[in-house]
Amino acid sequence: MLSLVALCGLAWSQTGLTTIQDTLFKADGTRFTGTLTIQWSTFDAANVGTIVQQSKNVTVINGNLYVQLVPNAGAPPPANIYTVFYQSGGSQQFSETWTVSPSATPLTVSEVRTGTLSVTGTSGTGSNGTVTPIPESSVAGLVDDLNQRPMKGVAFGTSGVAIVDQNGALQTAVGQVGQCVLVDGTTGPCGGNAPTFVDAETPGGIVDGVNTTFTLANVPTGSSLMLFRNGLYMTAGFDYTLTGSILTFPSASIPQPLDTVTASYRINPAVAGVIGSPMLTQVIPVAAAQVVCSASGSTTAAGSSTSLGGCDVPAGGLQPGDRIEIRFTFAHTGTASGFDLRVNWGSTAILSRHGGTQDTAVVGHADAAITTTGAQLSVESWGTVLTLLPAIVNSPLQSAVQIGLLAGLSNPGSDSVTLSNYTVLRYPSH
């Protein structure tokens, strides 16, 4: 008797609702994961009553859709349609309209779909669907939110630095390549002496397995020295010590015959003078670093490679002699899945690494030396568990470069990957 009462109560609670249940796929055959936002206008429904205008969010995981709606097939337009927006990966994919009929058994999406919506809001090729445009003023808070957006000014352009004028409009800074943008939006010569880079220098000294002392051509600034032995990164204070421009190796790390030792570092031109000539007192006027972009990125729990951040370096920022520096930090939350990350320099993938379940963070940096034929990039990355991986990558000449930082999970579930921070700097040639 109790079971009969429970079943009667369940049937009564679902009176008047139609179940839409289906498995959704993407065009590549993988299952759709995302959110459906369902909106409707006020209408009266038999056995239920007045249904007020509202919306509902439905989460779809691994393609599984389940939602119960009041039938609206008999309502007058525009209340005879549900407008359904599909979102995935942080952006709206497409939208369509549903008309739901009374049904004691679950219906599929194809059985309720009555039309599709284009980006202009007009009806697609549905059999009996109609679409009523919604004025911006009818969406709560939309007009106020739109008014908060910065608007393009008459001097707005592309491939340049954006500034905000006195009216709050976006304009493009006017100046010459190599100049700096000042805080008031004007441009002019860059001041100060920025570091000068020394790449792949071979320290002076005999590589015979006995000699412990080698000499650099200049004195590196701060902790900028990166020393490599046969391509493997050496740790300061452990594998060697640096005093001024003198490298000293302990007995366990003495370079052996046929070993290759290379050094890359920065020097202060106001102190060191011309590279390779430490005794010269001439100061090299080098422009200060320019911040191309610096921000925190987004988060993904998807299994596919997803863009979490990046920015564009225009053609004017890729002059021969320029240097572009990229620094990034990825954070991994959870221990159920490994993850993959990638850094793109335009059409060239300069870094691809797989982090394990125990890697809570992966960091790295890349330096791109711009030449007349393209760019040579030195890249390093390491993680909580991941070992240090140095690499040198050559990229062909490109008129402009889009720098992209992407990540995705090996087994989507409860884990997530976040681009905690990234910075792109440009050191213009002098």
Residue-wise pLDDT for 46-88, tens only, equals: 778 888 999 999 999 999 999 999 999 888 888 889 999 999 8
Q: Count up the domains in the chain and report the number.
A: 4
pLDDT band at 4 (very low <50, low <70, confident <90, very high): very low
Domain encompassing residue 300: 290-427
* Mean per-residue pLDDT, 154-172: 78
* Cα distance between residue 241 and residue 220, in whole Å: 13
Out of 138, 158, 178, a domain closes at 138
Say yes or no: 297 and 423 in one domain: yes
**324 or 161, higher pLDDT:** 324
Return the pLDDT at 124: 44
Out of 272, 298, 319, a domain closes at 272
- 1 is a domain residue: no
Measured CA distances, 164 to 81, 133, 159, 309, 317 (Å): 44, 34, 16, 23, 21
- 10 is a domain residue: no
Return the pLDDT at 270: 56
DSSP assignment letter at 123? B
pLDDT in tens, 195-218: 678 888 999 999 999 999 999 989
- 281 is a domain residue: no
3-state class (DSSP) for residue 396: strand
pLDDT at residue 233 above 50?
yes
* Mean per-residue pLDDT, 113-133: 54
pLDDT in tens, 344-385: 999 999 999 999 999 999 999 999 999 989 999 999 999 999
- 69 is a domain residue: yes
3-state class (DSSP) for residue 187: strand
Return the pLDDT at 15: 62
* Mean per-residue pLDDT, 242-250: 93
pLDDT band at 157 (very low <50, low <70, confident <90, very high): confident
DSSP assignment letter at 3? H
Say yes or no: 22 and 106 in one domain: yes
Say yes or no: 166 and 266 in one domain: no
Say yes or no: 173 and 240 in one domain: no
pLDDT at residue 117 above 90?
no
What 154-159 contacts at long range (C-beta under 8 Å, 24+ apart), as own/partner pairs, is: 158/314, 159/314, 159/315, 159/316, 159/400
Contacts of 102 (CB under 8 A, 6+ apart): 16, 18, 71, 73
pLDDT at residue 3 above 60?
no
pLDDT in tens, 89-110: 877 778 999 999 999 999 999 9
* Cα distance between residue 190 and residue 172, in whole Å: 18
* Cα distance between residue 362 and residue 364, in whole Å: 7
Task: Assign residue 45 the CATH number of its domain.
Answer: 2.60.130
- 284 is a domain residue: no
Say yes or no: 301 and 421 in one domain: yes
List the structure tokens of 130.
Answer: 């109609």
pLDDT at residue 223 above 70?
yes
* Cα distance between residue 12 and residue 1, in whole Å: 17
What 47-55 contacts at long range (C-beta under 8 Å, 24+ apart), as own/partner pairs, is: 47/15, 47/16, 48/15, 48/16
Q: What is the mean pLDDT of the chain?
A: 83
Return the pLDDT at 288: 60
Say yes or no: 183 and 217 in one domain: no
